[in-house]
Structure 1
Amino acid sequence: MELLNNLLLIAALLLFGSIVVSSISARVGAPLLLIFLIVGMLAGEEGPGNLVFDDVGTAYLIGSVALGIILLNGGLHTKVESFRVGLRPALTLATVGVLITSALVGLLAAWVFDLHWLQGLLLGAIIGSTDAAAVFSLLHARGMNIERRVGATLEIESGSNDPMAVFLTIMLIEILLTQGSLFAWNTLLLFAIQMGIGAVAGILGARLLVYMVNHLSLANGLYPLLVTSGGLLIFALANSLGGSGFLAIYLLGVGLGNRKLHAGQNILRVHDGLAWLSQIGMFLILGLLVTPSELLPLAGDALLIALALIFVARPLAVLVCLAPYRFVWREQLYIAWVGLRGAVPIILALFPLLAGLEQAELYFNVAFFVVLVSLLMQGWTVAPVARLLRLEIPPGPEPVMQIDTLIPGHPECEILVYKLGSTSPLRNRSPDYFVLPGTARLTSVIRHGISYDANDIERFEPGDYLHILAASNEVEQINRLFTTLEYAADHQFFGDFILEPSARLCDLSTAYGVPVPHACDTLSVGEYLTQQFHNKPVVGDRVKLDKIELVVLEMEAGQIVKIGLKITG
């Protein structure tokens, strides 16, 4: 009993301490995952905590389950609209990109550490994939709003490249153990089967869970647990059938996140918390597992590998993989820079330890060192580099709170709460100016902690909280309404005027005296922008025409519906 109490005390203390210490991250800009990893190292056998933990099997089990929950939550927040602009480039990066990165890093590692070239390729495969936990965490940190084409590509890549990295790692371990042939013709077939089983399991599992969530009568607190347990069940089932459990649980999350679910907001809030808990637990365990003194002798060589990965291998892979998709150089540079390494390489580095492979300790220590360098260099600069490359879009307003009313017989009703900022176009406006779509109604306004009936408010003021009752199918329209209002007020980014996409390009040329390509003078402004971005424009895309700039301001169902005009000369 005393042992159990001590274990509980230690676990609770580590979790509590990690959360408290993470407040430092907001002040100094440090990646939260780095904080958790360092806390684990400090609690380990060579730190003040002096905890000895060397159970590789337990670490692998905890890491795999935690990563599954993180991928599930990432899928829940990935909208199908993101697949329109990011799916093909992301899948190319998740397959060909991982191969290129692994090969380049692996050959260098073989030379640096004097390994057999197969051993070098194994190390390359271990650190060849980006990490979902790191990418999801840092891209959404501090309210960042990255251009959708770039953000979607990074998120989908990080959520789908684990199967390739796992496959390469296991294949190379088996070759090294059996001294077998490097390539068998059934290798590609085996990979296709793994991906296929994972995809089918995820898609079918999502349909089953959607039906169960919407038709089972449960206590409200049980719906998130139903999704979590169902996701882990599909994860384990896909693995048991020889498929990719990581791909299955990510696609399951995507399938759930893009359907209307009973208690949907409650499910999202609980899984946000579970994802944070998983990240903290996973990085604490991995931090405990490492022996810092073993990193020092190989620090120089491992740093060379990390720098080659960040500045050579990843950029080359991005350049090759994105060439067919015509990303502009700023987007390619940012995607190359945010090739974050996190828990996945460390978990993959446990595979050689579990298999009893020669040089297994070296793989683990190098992978851990590379992760530290990646989080320090790339993780610390995700936001500044986005601003430097002009890829951060002013965040569109979202409800500060969104609550399912869960009224029996009317599950589609929701309460939305928006806060008016100091620059909101609604400030000093009458509520009559604010026209909501459909059956949506402004029910009350909270001002200085006091609730007022909407009819008793003469003018909106900055800091007001607007409570809106709406049907679920009206929520996106209301979000777009607030987005249009706020974007229209952001003249610095979107320009001074708003154009309809039907405006003629030739009329714009005449009005502002700017030249346009002769082949385009019969097009509308919307058609011209759509053509310029190969039928996949996103909010924030811009085209310069002499002394004016056209900026995509609002999209709906893949179509441009509002365009900003910015005078630059």
Structure 2
Amino acid sequence: MIEEIFTTDSLVLLSGILFIVGVLTTKFSSRIGLPSLILFMIVGMLMGSFVYFDNAHLAQMIGVFALVIILFEGGLQTKWSTLRPVILPSLSLATSGVLITSGIVAIAAKLILGFGWLEAVLFGAIVGSTDAAAVFAVLKGQNIKPKIGATLEAESGSNDPMAVFLTVAMIELITLPDASIFSLIGSFFVQMVVGVILGLIFGKLAVWGLNSINLDSSGLYPVFATAFALLTYGMTAFLNGSGLLAVYISAIIIGNADIAYRHSIFRFSEGFAWMMQITMFVILGLLAFPSELFAFDIIIKGLLMSFILMLVARPLAVFTSTFKMNYNIKELVFISWAGLKGAVPIVLATFPLLANIQGSHQMFNIVFFVVLTSCLVQGSSITWLAEKLNLTGPKVSEPTHSLELVSLGKADAEMIEYRMEDDAEIVGMTLLDIPFPTGSLVNAIIRDDQLIPPTATTIIKGGDFLYILSSRKHKKEIVQLLQKKSKNDTEQVG
């Protein structure tokens, strides 16, 4: 009994220390220009000196759960207006791009690592895709041009099915000699189709549920939305579809819909995603043993594979799969360099371990080393490269303070948060002159991180964050009013 209490208490204490260190690490990483996720992995490896952990199955389960939450949060933040123009190149990168990358890396793995052809292709499949967790974490808060940022995020959010398919297919071909490659290809297309369809269905259901069900506490809405993410993955996987793809698609639908308690849902998802990133990367760090990882043989082979992946395979895949898709040389160079590796390759590298494939431990160590190299070299230089290539856009400010009603219960009211665009019709007008619906009230205006007490004579400016209290039935009307463009701007466009 005492032993059980000690184990439980130790776990709680360790979790508290872990999350505090993780949060402080994000602040530290931004100052030294390193992605926080690489520091999370280093923390995990350092903890390995005190905590022995070699449960690949548990690490895989935690990794998949964390990826569901991270993809869901990334999808919520994805704007459809930005995503729509880059769907075709993103899908091309997520499919043919992964195939080309995997193929080139497989040839290198055959020559450098001495694997058989099936094992070499398996290695290529594991590191062939970009990682959503790494890309979302590194691009968050950066002022990369929307077109480029959307391309990278959409690619990383949708290329997991191809990587998982190739990995599982190669394992089946290695362990089951009678397996048919044609049946595996058919299975891939079924997974994609099922993932897309169920992602659309569950996304629509989630929007309907969030807007139709009056919950007693506003704090339940974020939990309800997250539950839909888990349900989407579970049901899609149960029906042999791509659960990760379904989660990403459903999150995009939810994030671009007019939903109740939007601010609460977004903030909860962001915080939960950070918790999952810290947990996942630390656990994956625990799974690696520094004495094995930094052996001379692994370092040399890992550096060679990283060099080929970053400077040969990824650029060839990007330039080939986006041929004649309206990207210039600078943009393609940046997309090539920003193909970060992260949690997905490490999680996929646990598959061969669990299947007891010959050489799987060496494969895992080299994959881990490649991920570390990618995060360290590519992740830390993304912002610098974007500035050198003139691919940074105007800095978009976010409110540093939030105004939110947390105890409305079943009241028919909602706080609307909206950032005014420079070309909006009401910019330059006083609050008295703006035809807000009856009963609506502007409670606060945040301008340049300063609170502006609203009065009848307050003039609205571009970049202002308005917080408007209104009944839910007027929400759509208010949003349309805020989004309406000025007549001069409309005439110029016409």
TM-score range, shorter chain: 0.7 to 0.9
Q: How does 1:49-128 map to 2 (within 5 A)?
A: 50-128=50-128
Residue of structure 1 aligned with 2:41, choices 12, 37, 42? 37
| Amino acid of the structure 2 residue aligned with 1:203 | L
Question: Could you say what secondary structure the match of 1:349 adopts?
Answer: helix
| Amino acid of the structure 1 residue aligned with 2:17 | L
Residue of structure 2 aligned with 1:252, choices 250, 253, 268? 250
| Amino acid of the structure 2 residue aligned with 1:414 | I
Deviations along 1:188-247, one digit per CA (max 9) or x if unpaired, are 211110111111221111122222211222121111111112211221121121111111
Deviations along 1:490-509, one digit per CA (max 9) or x if unpaired, are xxxxxxxxx96866xxxxxx
- Cα distance, 1:304 vs structure 2: 0.5
- Cα distance, 1:179 vs structure 2: 2.7
Equivalent residue for 2:133? 133
Question: Could you say what secondary structure the match of 2:185 adopts?
Answer: helix
Q: Does 1:12 align with 2:10?
A: no
Equivalent residue for 1:454? 455
Equivalent residue for 2:208? 211
Instruction: Name the CA shift for 1:221/1:452 in 2 (closer, same or farther; >3 Å).
Output: closer
Equivalent residue for 1:389? 389
Equivalent residue for 2:368? 368
Q: How does 1:431-442 map to 2 (within 5 A)?
A: 432=430, 438-439=436-437, 442=442
RMSD of the TM alignment (CA)? 3.1
CA distance in 1, matches of 2:428, 2:321: 52
Residue of structure 1 aligned with 2:177, choices 154, 176, 179? 179
Instruction: Name the CA shift for 1:472/1:370 in 2 (closer, same or farther; >3 Å).
Output: farther
Question: Could you say what secondary structure the match of 1:85 adopts?
Answer: helix
CA contact (8 A) 1:431 1:454 kept: no
- Cα distance, 1:180 vs structure 2: 3.8
Instruction: Name the CA shift for 1:41/1:353 in 2 (closer, same or farther; >3 Å).
Output: same
Q: How does 1:140-179 map to 2 (within 5 A)?
A: 140=140, 143-179=141-177
CA distance in 1, matches of 2:337, 2:104: 17
CA contact (8 A) 1:70 1:275 kept: yes
- Cα distance, 1:9 vs structure 2: 1.4
Instruction: Name the CA shift for 1:298/1:443 in 2 (closer, same or farther; >3 Å).
Output: closer
CA distance in 1, matches of 2:344, 2:269: 20
Identity %: 38
Deviations along 1:277-307, one digit per CA (max 9) or x if unpaired, are 0100000000011001112231011111001
Q: How does 1:230-241 map to 2 (within 5 A)?
A: 230-241=228-239
CA contact (8 A) 1:399 1:416 kept: no
CA distance in 1, matches of 2:490, 2:412: 37
- Cα distance, 1:78 vs structure 2: 1.2
| Amino acid of the structure 1 residue aligned with 2:416 | E
Question: Could you say what secondary structure the match of 1:414 adopts?
Answer: strand
CA distance in 1, matches of 2:142, 2:432: 28
- Listed as ranges, the gaps of 5+ residues in structure 2 are none
Greater strand percent: which structure?
A: 1
Equivalent residue for 2:198? 201
Equivalent residue for 1:312? 312
Deviations along 1:328-386, one digit per CA (max 9) or x if unpaired, are 11111111110000000000000001111111101110110000000011100111111
The count of corresponding residues between Structure 1 and Structure 2 is 474
Normalised to the residue count of structure 1, the TM-score between the two structures is: 0.76
CA distance in 2, matches of 1:223, 1:464: 27
- Cα distance, 1:256 vs structure 2: 1.0
- Cα distance, 1:135 vs structure 2: 0.6
CA distance in 1, matches of 2:132, 2:401: 26
Residue of structure 2 aligned with 1:220, choices 207, 218, 221? 218
CA distance in 2, matches of 1:109, 1:161: 21
CA contact (8 A) 1:402 1:416 kept: no
- Cα distance, 1:430 vs structure 2: 9.0
Equivalent residue for 1:565? none
Query: Which of structures 1 and 2 has the larger relative contact order (alpha carbons within 8 angstroms, sep 6+)?
Result: 2
Equivalent residue for 1:328? 328
| Amino acid of the structure 2 residue aligned with 1:347 | V
Instruction: Name the CA shift for 1:415/1:460 in 2 (closer, same or farther; >3 Å).
Output: closer
| Amino acid of the structure 2 residue aligned with 1:260 | D
Residue of structure 2 aligned with 1:242, choices 228, 240, 243? 240
CA distance in 1, matches of 2:41, 2:97: 27
Equivalent residue for 1:506? none
CA distance in 1, matches of 2:242, 2:255: 20
CA contact (8 A) 2:86 2:150 kept: yes
CA distance in 1, matches of 2:376, 2:370: 10
Instruction: Name the CA shift for 1:157/1:480 in 2 (closer, same or farther; >3 Å).
Output: farther
Question: Could you say what secondary structure the match of 2:283 adopts?
Answer: helix
CA distance in 2, matches of 1:460, 1:204: 39
CA contact (8 A) 1:73 1:253 kept: yes
CA contact (8 A) 1:265 1:403 kept: no
Q: Does 1:344 align with 2:344?
A: yes
Instruction: Name the CA shift for 1:180/1:366 in 2 (closer, same or farther; >3 Å).
Output: farther
Instruction: Name the CA shift for 1:293/1:444 in 2 (closer, same or farther; >3 Å).
Output: closer
- Cα distance, 1:75 vs structure 2: 0.9
Instruction: Name the CA shift for 1:173/1:465 in 2 (closer, same or farther; >3 Å).
Output: closer
Residue of structure 1 aligned with 2:272, choices 263, 271, 274? 274
- Cα distance, 1:395 vs structure 2: 2.3
- Cα distance, 1:444 vs structure 2: 5.0
Q: How does 1:550-561 map to 2 (within 5 A)?
A: none
CA distance in 1, matches of 2:235, 2:130: 25
Normalised to the residue count of structure 2, the TM-score between the two structures is: 0.87
**Larger Rg computed on CA atoms:** 1
CA distance in 1, matches of 2:32, 2:57: 35
CA contact (8 A) 2:89 2:325 kept: yes
- Cα distance, 1:82 vs structure 2: 2.6
Instruction: Name the CA shift for 1:237/1:468 in 2 (closer, same or farther; >3 Å).
Output: closer
- Cα distance, 1:324 vs structure 2: 2.9
CA contact (8 A) 1:400 1:417 kept: no
Equivalent residue for 1:542? none
Deviations along 1:73-100, one digit per CA (max 9) or x if unpaired, are 1111112213321111000000000000
CA distance in 1, matches of 2:435, 2:381: 41
- Cα distance, 1:111 vs structure 2: 0.7
CA distance in 2, matches of 1:226, 1:341: 31
CA distance in 2, matches of 1:450, 1:203: 39
